[in-house]
A and B are shown apart, each in its own frame.
Chain A
Amino acid sequence: MDPALCQLLMLRLRGGLRQRLLQLASLRGLLFSLAFGGGIWLLIVSNGSSITSLLGSAAQDQQAFSEQIITFMPLSMLGLSLLTVSMTTGPTFHFSPNEVNFLFTGPFRRRDLIVYKFGAYVAGVTLSSMFITFLVQPQTGSALSVFIATLLTLVFVQLNSAVIGMTGHALDGSRLARIRWPATALLCAIVAATVLYAWATPDRGIFDILSEFRHSWIGTIILIPYIVFAKLFVAPSISHLALWAVVAVVINAALLGTVIALDARTTDRSLVENARLSNRWERIKQGGSFWATQRTEVRSIRRTPIVGGLGPIALRQVLNALRNSFKLIIVFIGLAACTAPISLALGAPITEAQTLMTIYLFIAFILPRNLICDFRGDLSRMEIYKTLPIAPWRICAGQLVVQVFLAYVIALTIIASALVFEDSVTTQIALILAAFALPLTLLIYAVENTVHLLFPTKLIAMGRVDFEFLGRSIVEFIAKTIFVFAALAASGAVGLATFKIMGTTFVMPGLASWLTLTLIGLLTLVALQYAFRRFAVAETID
């Protein structure tokens, strides 16, 4: 690599380190970082109930776990690659606008720039690999093997995606490009046929079919490069590890060489994609979504419903959901629909406490972090809301209505999935769950928004090791969980008290419980209104 680029890389790494240390220098940064460290420590010490056990009881057996890795990891990596082929439109190596301005105009060869970006990526994944090693080492035994395997696999994933993407770009406009969609359709048809076959034959599940494919001769040939990385993870000795690591390094080096060769044919496309991705990141920083529409023009809605001022705010979020997060909503609904079948396939029925906690984690942490159609995505536009002649409570309600509706639809999909696939979930139970899911969803998002307006912060981490951001996320989640569980406890207590007073039927206690939860949700809306009034728009004192 060019010495100047090498120096730039070192300076950037030092800058990143300095930024983290500066975070630790402030009390808030230190506390959040400690919270993050504490959370990770808890995860590690609660060995029995942590990551591996979430994968099912088979994980307890080292031999069976290794078998699962050898069987399913190559398949997962192939799936990821195919997904990359069909979904990716972005650049394979993203250069930020300042890198384009400084480096593209500097005396550097494209090869050097690619190697520089690759170096930056390797530095980043080294940190990620160290973190993963720290996390899973207690379950696996050898820290060195986990670190090497993770590092080489992450590098492979990046390079493999880059080669696939660049090959696609290089073939654009050629005859071969025409088969992209028919090939995708054929693959989808094969997947659909496999799922249908698995559905029709009760004695052979989807995992059995995948396992058979993986161990067949054709599966082995297709998956050869991916099998190497699975072997790395389950290497029984240092000599095996060294052998597979050498093979993995050779594969990665070949991929890097291919990237450099392909780059010469895709430079123009790469520049366009870089600019597009940079714009996208700018939008994400302002609360947009990575999945947002790339279209320039759309058909405008002619009129907006007024509904006492609630209408325009709600419609703004409807458009936000449709044009910013539509694909994400579909993905989440798809995931929700698969909840019960996946949990059954993993041998952890949806009624088990551990599965329920995973679902809660999905609903209360993963979903709010990714699907954002409320105040949290609008912090940079708060001055618009502040100048509107609409009462604050209407603005707050308008902001929440779409987000709550979408999250409720996803919750209903999980309930429907449980109703269809779980024998223990009856229609009556499903209806009760559906009734309580609405106030619970309102409560979760009212709390989420209130906290965000009272203590506004960025929505995305600044780099891989933004411990302050990660710590804050954990603290917020714990605080929200305590509040939600306290509300549920209060609701349950009211229901119990009503049952003791009224006697035999469950209808009135259930209703009292539901009303209590709804009331708490509405009271949180009052708190949200207070937070909105109190919110200080970022000042540029001019």
Chain B
Amino acid sequence: MITVTNLSKQYKGFTAVKNLSFSVEPGQILGLLGPNGAGKTTTLRTLCGIIPPSSGSLLVAGHDVVDAPIAAKKNLGYIPDDPRLFDTMTVWEHLAFTAAAYKLADFEKDAEGLLASFELTHKRNTLAHNLSRGMRQKVAIACAFLHDPKVILFDEPLTGLDPQGIRRIQQAIRERAQAGAAIIISSHLLSLFENLCTHIMVLNLGECRRFGTMEDLLREVGHTDSTSALEEVYFSITQAPDQPSETAAV
């Protein structure tokens, strides 16, 4: 569903992502883990067509993001870390806007369902600038889910959410994966990965340092307690001196 081959992205002499290759199949949830500046957001933004890659190939649902961006984007939902909504539009108008952009003829029923599932029904006529950070996040997620994308990219999806919101979003992510979506989540929250992810990729300084299933990683460190194992993996990789990059495909 998502195939990334030799992705590199350079900014004026600085390499944000270097020779990254991986793939995510339907139903899988890949967690991107790494310190600030590791290249997580750049990877996601390149995948969803916000920034062009310097080299490499990116396929979303079989469509090349660079050569066939419209077809690729039709299958893609992206939730940024800081959702910037249109401040003069209401919550419902964001959904209507998304429906028109993705050419969805009958969207009302699905939109109502999403509003209900994210507890936004009573906010349908509220202008976006009056929403809290968490509410804006929920609206962004509802908009991203509306066209039932095959690929969903989350950048720090839980920021600003209350405990109920966190539980609801995690449940929604699980359900989307079970329905066959390929999902990538970028976050600093190790607990989120432990709860949701089937695969983990650790990035550091733009390079892939470890890639595999959650079980592989736990087995590698020899821990049964996943919390401390993931933490150990993370720190051993990100605080160790430069290692050769290791890429793999699921």
- A contact residues around B80 at 8 Å (CB): 383
| Cβ-defined partner of B127 (8 Å) among A286, A323, A389 | A323
With both chains docked as a complex, state the minimum distance between the C-beta of A278 and any C-beta of chain B, in angstroms: 13
CB-contacts of A341-361 with B (<8 A): none
Given A323-B127, A386-B50, CB of A297 within 8 Å of CB of B90: yes
- A contact residues around B186 at 8 Å (CB): 542
Instruction: Please state if B127 and A316 are interface contacts (CB–CB under 8 Å).
Output: no
Q: What separation, in Å, do the CA atoms of A320 and B73 have in the docked complex?
A: 25
Per-residue CB contact flags for chain A residues 282-303 toward chain B (1 = under 8 Å, else 0) read 0100101000110111111111
Per-residue CB contact flags for chain A residues 399-433 toward chain B (1 = under 8 Å, else 0) read 00000000000000000000000000000000000
Instruction: Please state if A384 and B88 are interface contacts (CB–CB under 8 Å).
Output: no
Q: What separation, in Å, do the CA atoms of A314 and B40 have in the docked complex?
A: 33
Instruction: Please state if A381 and B84 are interface contacts (CB–CB under 8 Å).
Output: yes
| Cβ-defined partner of A541 (8 Å) among B37, B50, B99 | B37
Instruction: Please state if B101 and A390 are interface contacts (CB–CB under 8 Å).
Output: yes
| Cβ-defined partner of B101 (8 Å) among A300, A312, A381, A542 | A312
- A contact residues around B49 at 8 Å (CB): 386-387
- A contact residues around B36 at 8 Å (CB): 542
B48 within 8 Å of A (CB atoms): yes
A462 within 8 Å of B (CB atoms): no
- Identify the closest chain A residue to B50 (Cβ): A386
- B contact residues around A195 at 8 Å (CB): none
Per-residue CB contact flags for chain A residues 374-407 toward chain B (1 = under 8 Å, else 0) read 0000001101101111110000000000000000
B170 within 8 Å of A (CB atoms): no
Which one of A298, A540, A542 has the greatest number of beta carbons of chain B within 10 Å? A542
Instruction: Please state if B38 and A542 are interface contacts (CB–CB under 8 Å).
Output: yes
Given A300-B90, A383-B45, A541-B39, CB of A311 within 8 Å of CB of B100: yes
Instruction: Please state if B38 and A316 are interface contacts (CB–CB under 8 Å).
Output: no
The number of residues on chain B lying at the interface, defined by a beta carbon within 8 Å of a beta carbon of chain A, is: 50
- A contact residues around B39 at 8 Å (CB): 541-542
Instruction: Please state if A316 and B97 are interface contacts (CB–CB under 8 Å).
Output: yes
- A contact residues around B38 at 8 Å (CB): 542
- B contact residues around A283 at 8 Å (CB): 87, 129
- B contact residues around A303 at 8 Å (CB): 96, 99-100
Instruction: Please state if A389 and B70 are interface contacts (CB–CB under 8 Å).
Output: yes
CB-contacts of B57-90 with A (<8 A): 69-71, 73-74, 76, 78, 80-81, 84-90
- B contact residues around A542 at 8 Å (CB): 36-42, 81, 186
Q: What separation, in Å, do the CA atoms of A279 and B76 have in the docked complex?
A: 33
- A contact residues around B100 at 8 Å (CB): 303-306, 309, 311-312, 315
Q: What separation, in Å, do the CA atoms of A298 and B93 have in the docked complex?
A: 11
With both chains docked as a complex, state the minimum distance between the C-beta of A539 and any C-beta of chain B, in angstroms: 7
Per-residue CB contact flags for chain A residues 514-542 toward chain B (1 = under 8 Å, else 0) read 00000000000000000000001101111
Q: What separation, in Å, do the CA atoms of A312 and B40 have in the docked complex?
A: 30
A83 within 8 Å of B (CB atoms): no
| Cβ-defined partner of A304 (8 Å) among B14, B96, B127 | B96
| Cβ-defined partner of A301 (8 Å) among B69, B96, B102 | B96
B191 within 8 Å of A (CB atoms): no
| Cβ-defined partner of A387 (8 Å) among B48, B71, B103 | B48
| Cβ-defined partner of A389 (8 Å) among B91, B102, B124, B126 | B102
What total of A-B pairs shows CB separation below 8 Å?
135
Instruction: Please state if B88 and A324 are interface contacts (CB–CB under 8 Å).
Output: yes
- A contact residues around B41 at 8 Å (CB): 540-542
Q: What separation, in Å, do the CA atoms of A311 and B188 have in the docked complex?
A: 38
Given A320-B88, A389-B102, CB of A300 within 8 Å of CB of B125: yes
| Cβ-defined partner of A292 (8 Å) among B81, B88, B108 | B88
Instruction: Please state if A309 and B101 are interface contacts (CB–CB under 8 Å).
Output: yes
Q: What separation, in Å, do the CA atoms of A32 and B132 have in the docked complex?
A: 39
Instruction: Please state if A306 and B103 are interface contacts (CB–CB under 8 Å).
Output: yes
B51 within 8 Å of A (CB atoms): yes
B178 within 8 Å of A (CB atoms): no
- Identify the closest chain A residue to B76 (Cβ): A387
Q: What separation, in Å, do the CA atoms of A313 and B98 have in the docked complex?
A: 10
- B contact residues around A536 at 8 Å (CB): 51
Which one of B74, B96, B101, B186 has the greatest number of beta carbons of chain A within 10 Å? B101
- A contact residues around B92 at 8 Å (CB): 300-302
| Cβ-defined partner of B70 (8 Å) among A279, A304, A313, A390 | A390
Instruction: Please state if A316 and B16 are interface contacts (CB–CB under 8 Å).
Output: no
Per-residue CB contact flags for chain B residues 4-29 toward chain A (1 = under 8 Å, else 0) read 00000001001010000000000000
| Cβ-defined partner of B96 (8 Å) among A302, A324, A383 | A302
Which one of A297, A303, A381, A384 has the greatest number of beta carbons of chain B within 10 Å? A384
- A contact residues around B126 at 8 Å (CB): 296-297
- Identify the closest chain A residue to B92 (Cβ): A300
Given A304-B99, A383-B80, A390-B101, CB of A298 within 8 Å of CB of B16: no
Instruction: Please state if A298 and B127 are interface contacts (CB–CB under 8 Å).
Output: yes
B245 within 8 Å of A (CB atoms): no
- A contact residues around B227 at 8 Å (CB): none
Instruction: Please state if A389 and B73 are interface contacts (CB–CB under 8 Å).
Output: yes
- A contact residues around B127 at 8 Å (CB): 293, 295-298, 323
B171 within 8 Å of A (CB atoms): no
- Identify the closest chain A residue to B88 (Cβ): A323
Given A542-B36, A542-B38, CB of A387 within 8 Å of CB of B73: yes
Q: List 26 A-B contacts (CB under 8 A).
A: A286-B84, A286-B87, A292-B88, A292-B129, A297-B127, A300-B91, A300-B92, A300-B93, A300-B96, A301-B96, A302-B108, A312-B101, A316-B97, A319-B88, A320-B86, A320-B88, A323-B88, A387-B76, A389-B73, A539-B45, A540-B41, A540-B81, A541-B16, A541-B37, A541-B39, A542-B38
The 10 A-B residue pairs with the shortest CB-CB distance in the complex, in nearest-first order: A304-B100, A312-B100, A542-B41, A300-B92, A389-B73, A323-B88, A389-B74, A386-B50, A300-B90, A304-B96
